[in-house]
Amino acid sequence: MTAACAAAPFAMELADTSTGIQLSVPSIHCASCIGAIERHFSKVPGVQDARVNATQKRVAVQSNLSADVLVQELNSIGYEAFPLDDDALKNDADPVCRDLILRMGVAGFAMMNVMLLSVAVWTGATDATRDLFHLLSAAIAVPAVIFSASPFLKNAIHALKGGRLNMDVPISLAIVLAAGMSLYESLHGGAHAYFDAALSLTFFLMIGRYLEHQTKSAARSAAAELAALEVHRADRKVGNEIESVAVKDLFIGDTILVGSGMRVPVDGRLQTQTACTDRSFLTGESEPIEHTKHEPLCAGEINLGAPFEIIATAIGANTRLRRIAELVETAENARNSYTSLADKAAQIYAPVVHVLAAATFLAWILINGDVRNALNIAIAVLIITCPCALGLAVPAVSTAAISRLYQMGFLVKSGTALERLALAKTMIFDKTGTLTAPGFSFGIKDLSPTQRAIAKGLAQQSSHPLSKALAQHLTEDVAAQIENIFEHPGLGVEGAWKGRKVALGKPAWLNQPGDALTLKVGGTACPLLSYENVLPGAEYLISDLDLLGISSQIISGDTEANTERLARKLGFGSWRSNVSPEQKAMCVKQCSLAGPVCMVGDGINDTAALAQANVSIAPGTALDATRNAADIVMIGDGLGSIPKVVSVSRKAVNLSKQNFGIAILHSVIAVPIAMAGFATPLIAALAMSTSSITVLLNAMRVRLGK
């Protein structure tokens, strides 16, 4: 549900939101939202301070009020909010990024200084002068290499212990041998030292490692976000007394009171005769669910009616919400095992490089019997064939492609997302909130200011999702003062305005035709919105995907009739309805047997399916848990641009493969020179720099669309 936003689509966070009560507000989009929320809280008694973080879609409130009261305050101005548990959220800091920048800076600074010292050697310094410059270079280079190259060394050791090769094995071998042999030559008056080459390798490869890290998500795990949405306190009924206790202290069989507008804290069975809840986090549908006595309820559902009681049947890790979180975590871990193009190349490239270096060493021993000279030439082969360009090949293209997609309105969070999307054969869409927007297409242009004010006054007093959407849509209007307000759960809300009866709700409840939310003032009634409006871009989505050879289908928690109607309207050849979150994840898993699957969804009920898919896309309006489970987030209304994203991903993969070709061509030219013993440190450094710059320039083509 999107509030009216007149400013830019996104705004930078205004303050740190690491303290106070944390609320997730997914409908925050711009400066207008920030101002509306902060101005409202400034007028609420008991609130000392409120700061909005638009990037994380959160509000941090310093207050002596409870989180539930603060949620109700946001609901009153049309913003749906969810309390977050601070302990369940991880630290926002990114120490890995800072560490990579530091190591890259040290390597670059040391490289420049060693190259300055090397100029004297390259221009003819000999004997004591040459040895002095080599020793000075060693004093700078050895500590810098040990510090800056340690990520490669650790990864290489880890890979070798696991009995496999990755790109870091030849990288580490080249760096260690170059630095080690250079130190030996410096201490024994040798003519050549490779300190500048070792540092150049380290510096360029650290750039690649940093670019690779930047393409990965710095956001939290979707499973952690789901856990943060859990209720952490509950009202337990003991005899005639009500006590507030931590959910972790509840036991199966406890009687729990769930107040109006509150979330159900645990799974349980209804003990009250009737209840009405919002189960959209499970079904993705905004329609309230009516329950009768003894029916099961799930943790996370919102009470839309009068208070009710449940008997706890599952607590903590055994609730359905937590089981969905575990499904997400398991699927995320499985998806993270995807082997990138760079790692696949390393499995072929690394053994070849090692064999060439070993063959060179043995050949030169046979030629002149000089072990020291043979080792120097073999190290030169390792240096000149070190996969610096290969190390940059994928990160450089990924970063350029991600930059282009960001300009198109898509935020790529995973380093291998583009590779996986390029392979997609099937695209599965959620319906509500992804292809359609329930409660967002308002037919209220002809309403008078008075009618708009009455509609907002009624909508603010209702807990129904469509009423909340209406209240958000009427952000700029002043609400009328409605008296004697009473809500009929699942039907509507009524009251009195200046002695006249006014009501907002289902047309059947108001004795009106149609299926649109209806406003009635006295005897005059008018529809306000359509329950289902196809989002922009959906009309041509299927035909564009067909041109790319991608089949598509809908998997929805909505009814068979609604799902079939939309599927036929948009041209989907396949659809499934009444699907639970667990079933969605299973459907995605089954479809993936026929080829890689891309899942597109926005609800918490889609989280497990998004994580299960080979690659996934979510709208920016989705909750934190849903966005974090996705590899790509749509910042704006980019539904119709999804086929273009697929095209860019395929282009990026092709350019990555071209970069591998450039790196291999460089090796084909340079290796014979090195094996023949003509590769001086200067030639090695120039060869590496040339191949790396060529790879970077080629990567820019994806950003230019060429």
Please identify every residue annotated as catalytic.
430
Tokens 């659809």 -> residue: 575
Q: Please answer whether residues 615 and 632 qualify as being in contact, where contact means their C-beta atoms are separated by less than 8 angstroms.
A: yes
Q: How far apart are CA 29 and CA 636, in angstroms?
A: 10
Query: What are 365-372's contacts with CB under 8 Å, separation 24+?
Result: none
Contacts of 623 (CB under 8 A, 6+ apart): 24, 26, 82, 225, 229, 603, 604
Q: Please answer whether residues 646 and 614 qualify as being in contact, where contact means their C-beta atoms are separated by less than 8 angstroms.
A: no
The vertex-21 CA angle with 20 and 26, nearest 5°, equals: 125
Q: Please answer whether residues 503 and 439 qualify as being in contact, where contact means their C-beta atoms are separated by less than 8 angstroms.
A: no
**Torsions phi, psi of 276, nearest 5?**
-135, 125
Which of 468, 437, 438, 436 has its CA nearest to residue 455? Answer: 468
β 255-258/289-292 pair status: unpaired
Q: What is the number of H-type helices and E-type strands within the chain?
A: 23, 26
Displacement of CA 140 from its chain's centroid (Å): 40
Tokens standing for residue 95:
């120490």
Please provide the distance, in angstroms rounded to a whole number, between the alpha carbons at the two ends of the chain. Answer: 38
Q: Please answer whether residues 234 and 244 qualify as being in contact, where contact means their C-beta atoms are separated by less than 8 angstroms.
A: yes
User: Where does residue 580 rank: exposed (0-12), middle (13-18), buried (19+ CB within 10 A)?
Assistant: middle
| Residue 437 DSSP code | -
406 sits in which H/E element: helix 388-408
Q: Please answer whether residues 215 and 399 qualify as being in contact, where contact means their C-beta atoms are separated by less than 8 angstroms.
A: yes
β 426-429/597-600 pair status: parallel
CA distances 423 to 123, 143, 412, 572, 646, Å, are 52, 43, 16, 21, 9
Q: How far apart are CA 566 and CA 517, in angstroms?
A: 20
